[in-house]
Amino acid sequence: MSILLIVLFPLIGFLINGIRYIISTKKGTKISSQQSGMIATFAMVLSFLVSVYYYFQFNGQSNEVKLIDQNLFSWIKIGAFHLDFALRLDPLSLLFSLIITGVGSLIHLYSIGYMKEDASPAKYFSYLNLFCFMMLNLVLGSSMPHVFLGWEGVGLASYLLIGYWNLDVEKVMAGQKAFVMNRIGDLGFLIAMFVAYKYVGSLDLIEIQKSTMSPFVVTVFTGLVFFACTGKSAQIPLFTWLPDAMAGPTPVSALIHAATMVTSGVYLLNRISPLLIQAPQVLSVIAIVGVTTAFIAAIIACAQKDIKKILAYSTISQLGFMFLACGVGAFDAGVFHVMTHAFFKALMFLGAGSVIHALHEEQNIFKMGGLSKKLPITTITFVVGWAAILGIPPFSGFFSKDEIIIESLNSPYGNQVLFAMALLTALLTAFYMTRLLVLVFFSPSRMDKDVEEHVHESPLVMTFPLIVLAVLSLIGGFWHHSEGAHENSQMIMITSVAVAILSAGFSFYRYRKFDSEEQTNNFIENGLGINNFYNNFFGKGVTIVSKGLFRWIEAGIIQNGLKFCTWAVEFSGNVLKSFQVGSVQVYLMMMVLLGLSLMIWVLQGVMHGVLIYGK
């Protein structure tokens, strides 16, 4: 057995389906969703089984043994710089691998049903496998460039899948937005690597962890890594791409934009946690950014009408919780929440997919309602997910969320403000999730008649993953033993559960008989204007700068300068010709030479001036 197998199976799946897609376009044949879906799912299941094997290998071992290095080949070697392409498995990467391959398998399976009508399922499944391959590289890579390979690779897969229906220009643009915003964060990652190499002399993650850098360098390094994480994990200031990313097929939203890719920031912060502890300023920034993101996203979620947008903002909000956990030094709690969130959020996204599927692409929750009778399995499983995200005991979310809320107060890095914000966010979460649940499943139907007639429960291939995820959302919390034996923790626990239940009750009361569309605040619905601000400021800014540069410098100075030179040469040639003295070419040459020597002389002076000024 080798850890290479974990990443190898999705790669093989990607290649098989990719080649099948290309051959099918060449021959003009159609591939069934079952066939390609089975190949892709099978690849993921195999990869999952290998991960499970290592789970049992690690089980009961001491911590020193729980580390497997596998050097695949020498990647880049230049002078003193040597980089191996190597995989590394430790408890952290194992947990992420289990989530990626486990939840991934279920979502692949679900996709077989969801993408049944799609024109090119082989392409879809090859992208999905490519994503998993890259994501596994991200968590299993032993060095920063290897992690970066996965980091950029998942961004690429995300781009391809968001804009999967590429006839629709808007969806394509959503993909591009995600890619570009992620790249802004990636610049942080790149520079972090350069800093690490300059001061540590290595890019291996363990060596970076162990290194002794000066406090300033540690702060810069961890700050840059954190900036990279805000891109991938949709935190302030780089979060606006995630709601747009909902343009992709719903299983993609469940896998990439809820369960796995967006949590890679939490993974990375955990990887460098020994360094983060040395940089308290960065930690507090992470905590503040996390809790603010959680709070703002929760507010925006309350005013959304699109079922996927609500879940997207909810994801941003929950990711904020995970960052809060990291920011108060409770890294384990953050990872724990990654796991439970992967279960219940994937569950809810797939549930939403089941609803959208049944309603023929309707996504507005005010055009749903009363679906509990027609979609019983979807409803029951969704209720489990709802209970989990609210943090109702004994559902999984209760354990992970409460640990974070407790730590936000009790941890040495925590304080009352963080705690209050977290509690407030929990309250809002209960409100908007109950609103969603009630409006979709329990309130009176607001569907169009012809849509209502065709509503039917999804096939087994889609409901089976829902059931499994529901079970996991129910019991997932027991996999973690927290030793939070503070005196006040029981109090906090009771408070947060009470807050959630009260808020949910209010929401239920408010929406249970809704029969029209709610008048939501436009400003909140549009994401507090942040998205518009970015569009106006950065989007238009780039256009203005590029047009300005073209107009004033490129066309104005450079092209006109060239035109002038051409004209001058032609003119002097004509003048010389009119004098009829000797060979024109000779004079021309002399003119040019003279002019040039003059220019060099001037340039030399200018450059010297610059140099002296520079010193």
Least CB distance to other proteins at residue 538 (A): 11
The verdict on 561 binding other proteins (CB under 8 A) reads yes
Helix (H, G, I), strand (E, B) or coil at 85: strand
Q: Which secondary structure element, helix H or strand E, spans residue 71, and what is its range?
A: strand 68-78
Residue window 63-82: x/- pattern of binding to other proteins, with contact defined by CB under 8 A: ----------xxxxxxxxx-
Q: Which residues make beta-bridge pairs with 141? A: 87
The reply to whether 231 sits near other proteins by the rule CB under 8 A is no
* Residue 279 region by backbone torsions, left for phi larger than 0, else alpha for psi between -120 and 50, else beta: beta
> Distance between CA atoms of 129 and 154, rounded to whole angstroms?
11
Question: What φ, ψ does residue 536 adopt, rounded to 5°?
Answer: -70, -40
Stretch that binds other proteins, among 173-181, 290-298, 325-333, 355-363 (CB under 8 A): 173-181
- The angle subtended at Cα 125 by Cα 124 and Cα 127, nearest 5°, is 70
Q: Which is nearer to other proteins, 82 or 456 (CB)?
A: 82
Does 549 bind other proteins (CB under 8 A)? Our answer is yes
One of 14, 48, 148, 413 touching other proteins (CB under 8 A): 148
**Residue 74, phi then psi, degrees to nearest 5:** -80, 125
Is 187 among the residues that bind other proteins (CB under 8 A)? yes
CA–CA dist 580, 582 (Å, integer):
6
Considering beta carbons, is residue 125 or 321 the nearer one to other proteins?
Answer: 125
User: Which lies closer to other proteins via its Cβ, residue 39 or residue 203?
Assistant: 203
Report residue 563 as tokens. 């035109």
Q: Does 593 bind other proteins (CB under 8 A)?
A: yes
- Least Cβ distance, residue 72 to other proteins (angstroms): 9
Please identify, using beta-carbon distances, which residue of 120 and 415 lies nearer to other proteins: 120
Per-residue contact flags (x/-) with other proteins for residues 192 to 221, judged by CB under 8 A = -xxx-xx-----------------------
Q: Does the footprint of other proteins cover residue 526 (CB under 8 A)?
A: no
- The tokens describing 489, both together, are 């923790």
Q: Which stretch binds other proteins (CB under 8 A): 88-96, 155-163, 237-245, 489-497?
A: 155-163
Q: Which C-beta is closer to other proteins: that of 186 or that of 403?
A: 186
Q: Does 85 bind other proteins (CB under 8 A)?
A: yes
Which tokens sit at 96? 């992420």
DSSP state of 367: G
Q: Which stretch binds other proteins (CB under 8 A): 261-269, 288-296, 451-459, 593-601?
A: 593-601
CA distance 446 to 439: 9
Question: What is the distance between the alpha carbons of residues 539 and 155, in angstroms, rounded to a whole number?
Answer: 20
Query: Of these, 167, 212, 579, 582, which contacts other proteins (CB under 8 A)?
Result: 167
Q: What are phi and psi of 411, to 5 degrees?
A: -65, 150
State phi, psi for 248 to the nearest 5 degrees.
-75, 170
Q: Which of 2, 32, 166, 209 is close enough to bind other proteins by CB under 8 A?
A: 166
Least Å distance, CB 520 to other proteins, is 32
- Taking the complex as a whole, how short is the minimal distance between the CB of residue 172 and other proteins, in angstroms? 5
CB 185 within 8 A of CB 229: yes
Using CB under 8 A, pick the residue from 70, 176, 372, 445 that binds other proteins.
176
**In this structure, what token pair is assigned to residue 236?**
């302030």
Closest distance to other proteins from the beta carbon of 34 (Å): 22
Supply 109's token pair.
């399976």
Q: Which is nearer to other proteins, 56 or 73 (CB)?
A: 73
CB of 612 to other proteins, least distance (A): 11
DSSP letter for 238, please.
S
Count of chain residues binding other proteins (CB under 8 A): 66
Tell me if 373 contacts other proteins by CB under 8 A: no
Rg (CA), the chain: 29
Which residues are registered as beta bridge partners of 71?
86
3-state class (DSSP) for residue 460: helix
Question: Least separation, in Å, of the C-beta of 9 and other proteins?
Answer: 18
Name which position in 417, 460, 545, 594 contacts other proteins (CB under 8 A): 545
Nearer to other proteins, 197 or 514 (CB): 197
Least separation in angstroms between CB 579 and other proteins = 22
**Which is closer to other proteins, CB of 65 or CB of 187?**
187
Beta bridge partners of 77: 82
> Residue 592 interacts with other proteins (CB under 8 A)?
yes
Amino acid residing at 29: T
CA distance 310 to 304: 6
CA 150 vs CA 130, 219, 223: distances in Å: 10, 25, 20
Q: Per CB under 8 A, does 585 bind other proteins? A: no
CB of 183 vs other proteins, minimal distance in Å: 5
Q: Which residues contact 474 (CB under 8 A, 6 or more apart)?
A: 384, 388, 394, 395, 396
Residue (of 133, 139, 111) closest to 124 by Cα position: 111
Q: Which segment (160-168, 283-291, 376-384, 443-451) binds other proteins by CB under 8 A?
A: 160-168
| 594 touches other proteins (CB under 8 A) | no
Q: Region of 457 please: left (phi>0), alpha (psi -120 to 50) or beta.
A: beta
What would the DSSP string read from start to end of 242-301?
Answer: HHHGGGS-HHHHHIIIIISGGGHHHHHHHHTHHHHTT-HHHHHHHHHHHHHHHHHHHHHH
Determine the angle formed by the axes of helices 215-232 and 144-162, rounding to 10 degrees.
20
| Least distance CB 14 / other proteins (angstroms) | 13
Q: Would you say 172 or 427 has its CB closer to other proteins? A: 172
Residue 238 CA to residue 128 CA, distance in Å, equals 24
Which structure tokens are listed for 118?
């799609």
Spatial neighbors of 110 by CB under 8 A, at least 6 apart, are 251, 254, 350, 353, 461, 462, 465, 466
Kindly state whether residue 152 participates in binding other proteins, applying the rule CB under 8 A: yes
Find the shortest distance in angstroms from Cβ 510 to other proteins. 42
Q: Is residue 602 within the footprint of other proteins (CB under 8 A)?
A: no
Stretch that binds other proteins, among 144-152, 416-424, 448-456, 486-494 (CB under 8 A): 144-152
Contact positions with other proteins (CB under 8 A) in 5-24: 22
| Among the listed residues 153, 251, 465, 527, the single contact to other proteins using CB under 8 A | 153
Instruction: State the minimum distance, in angstroms, from the CB of residue 577 to other proteins.
Output: 17
Residues interacting with other proteins, by CB under 8 A?
A: 22, 25-26, 73-81, 85, 145, 148-149, 152-153, 156, 159, 163, 166-167, 169, 172, 176, 179-180, 183-184, 186-187, 190-191, 193-195, 197-198, 542-543, 545-547, 549-550, 553-554, 557-559, 561-562, 565-566, 569, 592-593, 596, 600, 603-604, 607, 610-611, 614
